[in-house]
Amino acid sequence: MINKPEFSIPEPTLRRLPRYYNYLKELLKSGREIVSCTHIGKDLDLDPPQIRKDLAYTGIRGVPKVGYQIEVLLNSIEEFFGWNNMDEAFLVGVGNMGRALIDYQGFRRYGFKIVAAFDNSPDIIGKTFGGVEVLPLSKLTNLCSRMNIKIGVITTPDHAAQEAADMMIAGGIIGIWNFAPAEIRTPEGVIVQNENLATGLAVLSKKLQILKQSGKFRQEVDQ
């Protein structure tokens, strides 16, 4: 459907890199300067060769038997993702999820900032959440193109997601981060990243099922 460009970097790698980044930030804060893949693997429960491979995608190599300088590694990941260039985004749908995303200061670390939010409800329009004003949905398309916004976040209910996407795309948005549990149809040249919250839950519940069947799970502490 989408004529997608070649993404030669595997998505699991892309998903692990931010995790390394957060972990390395903490490690640096705790006073450490050098780290090995073995050490990272032990702390994050991952295979060291996989970690080495993941990190190599950012263009960095460790020194054999020594490891990586954490500071250099952090810079390498930042540059890889382009986190030094701030991306401004619009959000549509100011319910709990929308507010959670607006409030989540952690995104700044990733060069990402929600600069305006849009909703249909008169109860919310004009209010401010986390310094971000809620504007009427009718202004979305126009403001997108005027402010040259390229990323849109959808946190609407299911049935309103496609309309929000269409308005975003009409305004020139090319990257949509979709939290609504609905598949969005988009024209060629627009990327949709679906964030289905229930996915993590499904993975967890399947792992628990297997754990219970294996009989290896932890018994109540006070038995």
By CB under 8 A, the residues from 53 to 92 that bind a copy of itself are 80-83, 87
By CB under 8 A, the residues from 107 to 126 that bind a copy of itself are 107, 109-112
Q: According to the binding rule CB under 8 A, does residue 32 interact with a copy of itself?
A: no
Q: How far is the CB of 213 from a copy of itself (least distance, A)?
A: 8
Q: Compute the chain's Rg from CA coordinates.
A: 21
A 10 A CB-CB count for 35 gives: 21
Q: According to the binding rule CB under 8 A, does residue 202 interact with a copy of itself?
A: yes
Q: Of the ranges 28-36, 68-76, 93-101, 117-125, which one interacts with a copy of itself (CB under 8 A)?
A: 93-101
Beta sheet of 191-194, edge-to-edge order: 128-129, 132-136, 112-119, 87-92, 151-154, 175-178, 191-194
Rounded CA separation 15/182 (Å): 22
Q: According to the binding rule CB under 8 A, does residue 31 interact with a copy of itself?
A: no
Binding test (CB under 8 A) with a copy of itself, winner from 49, 59, 126, 189: 189
Rounded CA separation 132/139 (Å): 15
Binding test (CB under 8 A) with a copy of itself, winner from 31, 64, 106, 122: 106
